Amino acid sequence: MRYPGKFIANPMSYQPGNPLIVQGDHTILAEVASPLYTQARDALARFAELVKAPEHVHTYRLTPLSIWNACAAGVAAAEIAETLIQFSKYPVPEHVLIEIRDYASRYGRLKLVRDPRGLVLVANDEFLAEQISRNKHVAPWLGVRFSPLEFAIAPAARGEIKQALIKAGFPAEDLAGYSQGEALSFSLRQTARSGQPFSLRPYQCEAADAFHAAGTARGGSGVITLPCGAGKTIVAMACMARLQTSTLILTTSVTAARQWKAELLDKTSLLEDQIAEYSGDLKQVRPVTIATYQIMTWRPNKDSDYPHLTLFDSREWGLIVYDEVHLLPAPVFRVTASLQARRRLGLTATLVREDGREDDVFALIGPKKADVPWKVLESQNWIATALCTEIRLPMPEELRMGYAVAEKREQFRIASENPGKLAVVRRLLELHSGEPALVIGMYLDQLREIAAPLGLPVLTGATPQRQRDQLFADFKAGRIRVLAVSKVANFAVDLPEASVAIQISGTFGSRQEEAQRLGRILRPKRNGNQAHFYSVVTADTVEQEFALQRQLFLCEQGYSYSIADVDERGVPAA
């Protein structure tokens, strides 16, 4: 039973069957073998971050940002404390419970509002107001002090003050509202133009409702996190339909932009001449405009301005959608700070950013509004069931000395490009003969060396757009059964038929890349709903170490990697 507004009693007795050990440094140990582990893991994922996941004991960490995101998504401090107490083996340290309450209480103690005086920052007590007024990072953005609790904020500083406050440990709740933007009347279809019945899934409707918040000031900015294949594009369209306003959509590639356009035309009443592509190939601006991050951040040289950032001011956009928001480049972050009067929707499978700028996503795009665990959607058959396997093969004898004397970065490349991986890929494709498969790699030479003897077409960043589109179309139609792809296919590429992914090399310890690559095969399948994800690594090398780091986010979502060794020929056993 939950007790809103207060913590339940912290039991003093030892609970040997429970899986968690909550430590005074805000880390949480979770015993994987416990029968309650799965239940505890799913609860922890709402408010704690997975730090490491070896075989038997996983380590989570509570952070202010993880708790603020939980609060923004409707998880109360009392619920966080209750979860820890319920699943902890030992009494939860009292100071941890107190600090959870303190972190949670900081969210919303400062509010940005708009009244006849303009944009105003309001504190809930005079002590806090005085504290922030003396903070050297916050003070430059504060204007006239209207009262002991109120400060004027320049409209242009709305983003910067939120960034400064979150770094000061007091995230502001932005209730100042948004400009309506140009009106755009359209609706979602009940039958798609393709002839298929169309309706929102329950979790998609709930996510759109959470973002929109019935049109109140509490809605209009935030991040929706859903697994790849769960329909984040559909959620965005539902948000657009609720707002009925002109929309700028930013995405990762021309391929993704064209998939967005195809989905909008298929599932909404929008017409062709209402949707534009703004990319290296086309530069049109219409009521719905889809641009790529690459064109937005292009400039003639490193000392020049970014000429295409003017797109943000080219119309009265009522909504800006940031697809794959975990990849948002720094120049777009900077311009987003000045766009706080426009509604902003971030879409991602994981809020993990390898550059550590999650707090900037929180401040400038908005807090997490909806987050559905991957395994929940898998259990409901909305995404495919995935089996994850790490295949370890030995380092060839002739490469051992070169590996031993190399710097760590070069060691990673030597291990990643282990020539023995060709035999592994060949065997895996034989095991899954006839199934649509992707061979995914980071190093282009390696990708070509493996693809050539197997007769696989190769798609990289250098592949012309027209050829990319044709390869993707042939794969979807079944004319190509196996496609070798570089990291260009990590994001926002819709290949629903793919059911096998073989990763031969990756970007060091990138957690979000691992999640995105698994996501290539999670879309529901017409014939069965089973997917296989293989990661091929060289045993006892830095590549194996990075593989453990890469797998963290997926472990947090409930996926486990079985380990398979190869036989003396370097071939995995059937």
What digits encode the pLDDT tens for the residues 444-481?
999 999 999 999 999 888 888 888 889 888 888 889 99
Nearest to residue 89, comparing CAs of 22, 43, 42, 39? 22
Helix 542-550 × helix 511-519 angle, to 10°:
70
What confidence score (pLDDT) does residue 468 get?
85
- Residue 171, CB-side half-sphere exposure with 13 Å CA sphere: 25
The span from the CA of 131 to the CA of 142, in Å, is 12
**Among 114, 168, 116, CA closest to 138:** 168
CA distance 349 to 225: 5
User: Residue 43 corresponds to which tokens in the numbers above?
Assistant: 């609860």
From residue 54, give the alpha-carbon distance in Å to each of 10, 50, 88, 383, 545.
Answer: 29, 11, 20, 26, 11
Give Cβ neighbours of residue 391 (< 8 Å, ≥ 6 apart).
424, 428, 534, 535, 536, 537, 564, 565, 566, 572
279 to 235, 259, 332, 542: CA distances (angstroms): 24, 14, 15, 38
pLDDT recorded at residue 495: 73
Which band of pLDDT confidence, cut at 50, 70 and 90, is reported for residue 571?
Answer: low
The answer to whether residue 14 scores a pLDDT higher than 90 is no
Return the closest-CA partner of residue 327 out of 350, 300, 299, 359: 350
pLDDT beyond 70 at 339 = yes
Q: What is the mean pLDDT of the chain?
A: 89
3-state secondary structure of 258: helix
Ordered by where they begin, the domains of the chain are 20-106 (no CATH), 110-174 (no CATH), 202-372 (3.40.50.300), 378-565 (3.40.50.300)
Residue 166 pLDDT > 80, yes or no?
yes
| Per-residue pLDDT tens digits for 253-285 | 888 899 999 999 999 999 999 999 998 878 899
pLDDT at residue 441 greater than cutoff 70: yes
Question: What average pLDDT does this structure show over 131-137?
Answer: 95
Residue showing tokens 């065997």: 427
The pLDDT of residue 573 is 58
Residue-level pLDDT at 5: 43
- pLDDT tens-digit map of 115-126: 999 999 999 999
What pLDDT shows up at residue 6?
A: 46
Question: Is the pLDDT assigned to residue 568 strictly greater than 60?
Answer: no
- Give the torsion sign (CA, 499, 505, 507, 511): positive
Residue 501: which residues within 8 A CB-CB, separation 6 or more? 437, 438, 440, 517, 518, 520, 521, 531, 532, 533, 534
